[in-house]
Amino acid sequence: MQKRLAILAVIATLAAVGLLAGQTGPLGTPQQGIAESGSGQNAEKQSNSQSGNQSSPNPVTSFPQPTAPTCDGACQQGRQNLAIQRKLEWFTGLLALVGFLQVGGMVWQALLLKQTRGDVHAQANWMKTQADQMERQLRLQEVPFKQWVEIGLWKNLTPHPRPTATEPTVTLSFEVGNSTQFPFTLKRVATRKGVETWDSPNMEHLIPPNDYYLAYIFFHISAAELELYRLDKLAAMIEIETEIRDVLRNDCDPQHFRQTVIFGPNRCEAAKHSPHIEGFTLEQTR
């Protein structure tokens, strides 16, 4: 039993050695492996078997390698032209892109300008509306400060004319009153009877509330008018123009009056009072 085990071990060892030799040594025929596994053959048989069975190596066929093509001057010039064309194409494409961007920017600016213009118009309309409202509010606030003059209380200051007088001079007075709640400045008083005009410019006379300024008018009467005067029936049309500066230091528009005064030695009163007369203007004399 032990012998059999020893023989199997020797055979396994030889087989392993043969396998290792077949892997590491040169390639050969199958007879070499069989000859090497036999332990009782001599070296001469092994050498003959190896020399007889060894095959000659196959010759290796070599193919000629293709040579690289050569590029002359024309080829190089063509390549340079192609490179330049590619660069030009890129440059042209960039220019086109820049052009499109510029056109887009101009369109966007036009739209933005149109929108801004609309906003400006809307803002202007809103500001105009606000200004109108403020002006109306200011006028409403100025209503309590609105001021005007009153003409009245006529008096005859003419001395009794002599019996021999033919065209005496008549002197009348009237009050320019302030019936408002605030003082104002009387700047000018002008009067006219027929073609005779009297003017008092640059007065700057302050009139307190419920007070007056006493103004005078002088004119001549004819002999026929003198007879009516003596009968207290002489009537004269007197036109008056006044200018004031109100308490807010604003120059007011001139006020025009036309009154018919009936007077005589014992009478002097205004028969008709029209405080606002259109088309009536007394020219200021210097």
What domains appear along the chain, each with residue ranges and CATH number?
2-52 (no CATH), 150-274 (2.60.40)
pLDDT at 206: 92
pLDDT band at 240 (very low <50, low <70, confident <90, very high): very high
pLDDT at 282: 40
Tell me if 222 sits within 8 A of 230, measured CB to CB.
Answer: no
What is the per-residue pLDDT across 69-104, written as a single tens digit (0 to 9) for each? 566 677 888 888 888 888 888 888 888 888 888 898
Tell me if 260 sits within 8 A of 272, measured CB to CB.
Answer: yes
Q: Please, what's the b/e burial string for 258-281 (b: 16 or more CB within 10 A of its CB; e: otherwise)?
A: bbebbbeeeebebeeeeeeeeeee
Whether the pTM exceeds 0.85: the reply is no
Other Cβ atoms within 10 Å of 182 Cβ, number = 14
Residues 6+ apart with CB under 8 A from 168: 158, 161, 162, 220, 221, 226
Dmax (CA) of the chain: 203
What is the per-residue pLDDT across 157-196, written as a single tens digit (0 to 9) for each? 988 877 667 788 899 999 999 998 889 999 999 999 988 8
Residue in the block written with tokens 């002008």: 190
The answer, yes or no, to whether residue 42 has pLDDT greater than 60, is no
HEC-encoded secondary structure of 170-224: EEEEEEEEECCCCCEEEEEEEEEECCEEEEECCCCEEECCCEEEEEEEEEECCHH
Cα→Cα distances 145→76, 93, 133, 135, 198, Å: 100, 77, 19, 15, 30
Residues 6+ apart with CB under 8 A from 180: 146, 147, 148, 209
Alpha-carbon distance 22 to 232, whole Å? 173
pLDDT band at 260 (very low <50, low <70, confident <90, very high): very high
In percent, how much of the chain has pLDDT > 70? Answer: 67
> What value does the mean pLDDT of the chain take?
76
pLDDT at 58: 53
What is the per-residue pLDDT across 46-66, written as a single tens digit (0 to 9) for each? 444 444 444 444 554 555 555
* Section 136-157 average pLDDT: 81
pLDDT band at 285 (very low <50, low <70, confident <90, very high): very low
Burial of 145: CB neighbours in 10 Å, binned 0-12, 13-18, 19+? middle
Q: For the residues of 16-35, what is the DSSP string, one character each?
A: HHHHHHHHHS----HHHHHH
